[in-house]
């Protein structure tokens, strides 16, 4: 097949891990006989510096003409001014909103080869395989807000409509049907009005999915249960900010934040694929970033936007094999243990195809 892919390396470690991801994608194209046409665009801090806009029109157009977007990371110390009119993160949020990518899938599993690196008892980690479905275009990220300005207050509003909850709940229930048929809906219905609407909407949507077992967990309790009984979760549905926080927490179960991929989807096959981690400015330019979250994001793109399941699995299997061989980037190595650079790790992955 032929596919057009918008490539947005962004900031910090973004360009380094993206360069390696494109090597992996090219190898898949070669091996399976596909033509992946990749075109680069600017997003985030580098787009502010070069164009004066964190989500430039040219990038929007490039993405609109593509079948999928691959993005690495945005942000950095340089743009951390709290009163600046534009921020790198705004570019990412504007893009998610522009394409109505309301469902963000974040799979988390424990790798047997890495279980010893996870700071939890080994018996708790057996069978950990969670799919977070994070609502991505609503809640406090997009509700009415007041910026700090010169005044003494500022606010963000957690606002949800029934329709917004319904569409993402449908995605989560359908995912659960194809997995272990268990859905945990996260909320804070004991305190927040928006979260009471969330819960009652999820209960209603559940009527169409009687084969899925649904439970509701308050977000604070969920944060604890993720560490005390992680293997009990199947699909976890959460509003935007709760999902952001819980997925970083859950990355510990996978060994490192650098391991997690994500897929952001809307009503069609078009999607945005990016690792869960940020731009890691502290290690940028050193060729030591873990590229696994980025590679697994490529796999999700092949699976969800291009319907190339065998190709997606080829990447996942290659990564499993390299980890089983004992190769580690610095974030998943123990103190004193040898670690591979980003390029060395990629070489090892490519050698598995």
Minimum CB distance to ligand IPM, residue 147 (Å): 16
Q: Which of 67, 109, 188, 273 is catalytic?
A: 188
Among candidate residues 308, 244, 304, the one with its CA nearest the CA of residue 277: 244
Angle between helices 240-254 and 219-228 (to 10 degrees): 10
Comparison of 93 and 238: residue with beta carbon closer to ligand IPM: 93
Comparison of 29 and 261: residue with beta carbon closer to Mg ion: 261
Residue from 62, 95, 276, 327 binding ligand IPM (CB under 6 A): 276
Q: Which of 67, 187, 244, 331 is catalytic?
A: 244
Q: What residue ranges bind Mg ion (CB under 5 A)?
A: 244
Minimum CB distance to Mg ion, residue 104 (Å): 10
The answer to whether 275 contacts ligand IPM (rule: CB under 6 A) is no
Q: Is residue 215 annotated as part of the catalytic site, yes or no?
A: no
Q: Is residue 248 annotated as part of the catalytic site, yes or no?
A: yes
Q: Is residue 141 annotated as part of the catalytic site, yes or no?
A: yes
Comparison of 142 and 173: residue with beta carbon closer to Mg ion: 142
Residue from 22, 92, 189, 318 binding ligand IPM (CB under 6 A): 92
Q: Is residue 188 annotated as part of the catalytic site, yes or no?
A: yes
Evaluate the CA torsion angle 138, 219, 210, 178 in order and state its sign. Answer: positive
Q: Could you tell me the two tokens for 214?
A: 């649904």
Q: Which residue is nearest to ligand IPM (CB)?
A: 89
CB-based contact 189:224 (threshold 8 Å) = no
Q: Is residue 338 annotated as part of the catalytic site, yes or no?
A: no
Tokens 């319904």 found at:
166
- CA dist 4 → 21, 39, 263, 307 (Å): 15, 8, 17, 14
Q: Could you tell me the two tokens for 140?
A: 């406090």
Backbone angles phi, psi at 131, to 5 degrees: -115, 110
The answer to whether 278 contacts ligand IPM (rule: CB under 6 A) is yes
Contact of residue 92 among Mg ion, ligand IPM, none (CB under 5-8 Å per partner type):
ligand IPM
Evaluate the CA torsion angle 70, 94, 293, 8 in order and state its sign. Answer: positive
Number of other residues whose CB lies within 10 A of the CB of residue 188: 18
Q: Identify how many contiguous H helices and E strands the chain contains and give both numbers.
A: 12, 12
Minimum CB distance to ligand IPM, residue 141 (Å): 7
Burial label, 319 (beta-carbon count in 10 A; 0-12, 13-18, 19+): buried
Cα 157 from Cα 143, distance rounded (Å): 5
Minimum CB distance to ligand IPM, residue 314 (Å): 26
The answer to whether 49 contacts ligand IPM (rule: CB under 6 A) is no
The answer to whether 28 contacts ligand IPM (rule: CB under 6 A) is no
Catalytic residues: 141, 188, 220, 244, 248
Which residues bind to ligand IPM, rule: CB under 6 A? 75, 89, 92-93, 244, 276, 278
């Amino acid at each position: 097949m032929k596919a057009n892919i918008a490539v947005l390396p962004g900031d910090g470690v973004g360009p380094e891990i993206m360069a390696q991801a494109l090597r992996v994608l090219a190898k898949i194209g070669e091996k399976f006989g596909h033509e992946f046409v990749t075109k680069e665009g600017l997003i985030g801090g580098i787009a502010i510096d070069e164009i004066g806009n964190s989500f430039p029109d040219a990038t929007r157009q490039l993405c609109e003409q593509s079948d999928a977007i691959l993005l690495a990371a945005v942000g950095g110390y340089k743009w951390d001014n709290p009163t600046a009119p534009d921020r790198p993160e705004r570019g990412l949020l504007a893009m998610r909103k522009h394409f109505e990518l309301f469902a963000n899938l974040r799979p988390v599993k424990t790798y047997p080869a890495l279980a010893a690196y996870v700071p939890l008892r080994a018996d708790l980690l057996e069978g950990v395989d969670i799919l977070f479905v994070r609502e991505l275009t609503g809640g406090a990220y997009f509700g009415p807000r007041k910026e700090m300005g010169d005044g003494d207050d500022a606010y963000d509003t957690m606002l949800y409509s029934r329709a917004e909850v319904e569409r993402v709940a449908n995605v989560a229930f359908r995912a659960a049907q194809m997995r272990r048929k268990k859905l945990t809906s996260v909320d804070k219905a004991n305190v927040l009005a928006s979260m009471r609407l969330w819960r009652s909407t999820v209960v209603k949507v559940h009527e169409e999915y009687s084969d899925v077992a649904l439970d509701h967990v308050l977000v604070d309790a969920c944060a604890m249960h993720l560490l005390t009984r992680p293997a009990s979760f199947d699909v976890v549905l959460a509003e935007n900010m709760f999902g952001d926080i819980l997925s970083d927490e859950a990355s510990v179960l996978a060994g490192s934040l650098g391991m997690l991929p994500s897929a952001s989807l809307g009503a069609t096959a078009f999607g945005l694929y990016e690792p869960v981690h940020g731009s890691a400015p502290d290690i940028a330019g050193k060729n030591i970033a873990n590229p696994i979250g980025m590679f697994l994001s490529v796999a999700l793109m092949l699976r969800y936007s291009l319907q190339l399941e065998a190709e997606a699995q080829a990447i996942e299997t290659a990564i499993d094999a390299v980890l089983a061989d004992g190769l580690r980037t610095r974030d998943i190595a123990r103190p004193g243990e040898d670690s591979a650079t980003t390029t060395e790790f990629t070489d090892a992955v490519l050698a598995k195809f």
